[in-house]
A and B are shown apart, each in its own frame.
Chain A
Amino acid sequence: MSLSNIFTISGSAMSAQTVRLNTIASNMANVDSAASSADQTYRARKPVFSQMMNNSMRDRGWQNTKLDETGAGVGVQVQAIVESDAPLQPRYEPDHPMANEEGYVFYPNVNPMEEMADMMSASRSFQTNVEIMNSAKSMMQKMLTLGQS
């Protein structure tokens, strides 16, 4: 029954968007986490989404309808969380307790504007998937009442 597939599809999207929101929260929380060397500095994290294909679902014991076997995916998964390669911000702050010998402190390469825009996009996508799940639920509930009137 493909209507029940919608629950796994939207559910996977909701959990992927939650991971995205989590990375955004982590980036925003660490926006001012200073470090004394470039390798120790926090770098902005971003999840990489990829389509969940039938095989990966079947390995986990999910059954799919015939229509899905023709190649439609069955949700989205977080493939990896990558760190941004954008340049860090070295600032000359000799009074800072984390300052290195030259008096520089390294700040993360988090762009707060970008993170805010990303957060709005993630929460919108989450909401849409909740709506999809609700509407699939009402379709399924309706199916149960077939022929009762």
Chain B
Amino acid sequence: MAISFAGAFAGHDKALEFRSARAAILANNIANADTPNYKARDVSFDAAFSDEMKRLQLQGTNDRHFAHAAESDVSGDLLYRNPEQPSLDGNTVDMQREQAEYAQNSMQFDTSFMFLDRKISGMRKALTGN
């Protein structure tokens, strides 16, 4: 049985990409917390995930089947956040919420990172045999 990196990583490499891109968007929200008329933005993981699902690799049962290249870039649509408390200057950044989302996002980044790290050390263990 052939080991493929794509199979072994189970999308966690893409998840890292998504998490770091989302961290930049949340950092931008926090940076613009005092900008008048700035609208807070975020990406939806569901949207990015369903985009990924559409690109799932097809099983090749014959040599002449085309290998569907699972080429992907995480590019979920950028959405606008619904403000919970309207502010006078038209800014929709809720600092507490953004900080919480940022903290959660970086925890999820760590989770994906940990998964990848363990997977790589497992593969190395299988290769070296000790």
A binding-site residues for B, Cβ under 8 Å: 1-3, 5-6, 9-10, 12-13, 16-17, 20, 48-51, 65-68, 70-76, 121-122, 125, 128-129, 132, 135-136, 139, 142-143, 145-147, 149
Contacts and interface: CB of A to CB of B under 8 A. Distances in A.
Contact of A65 (B21, B38, B109): B21
Majority secondary structure of chain B interface residues (helix, strand, loop or mixed) = helix
A17 to B, nearest CB: 8
| Category for how many chain B residues contact A | 35 or more
The 9 closest A-B CB pairs, nearest first, are A13-B31, A147-B120, A2-B24, A49-B35, A67-B21, A3-B20, A2-B21, A5-B24, A6-B27
The prevalent SS among residues of A at the interface is helix
A6 B23 contact: yes
Interface in B1-38: 16, 20-21, 23-25, 27-28, 30-36, 38
16 contacts: A2-B21, A6-B23, A9-B27, A12-B31, A16-B34, A49-B32, A70-B75, A72-B78, A75-B32, A121-B34, A122-B34, A128-B30, A129-B31, A135-B102, A136-B27, A143-B113
A146 B110 contact: no
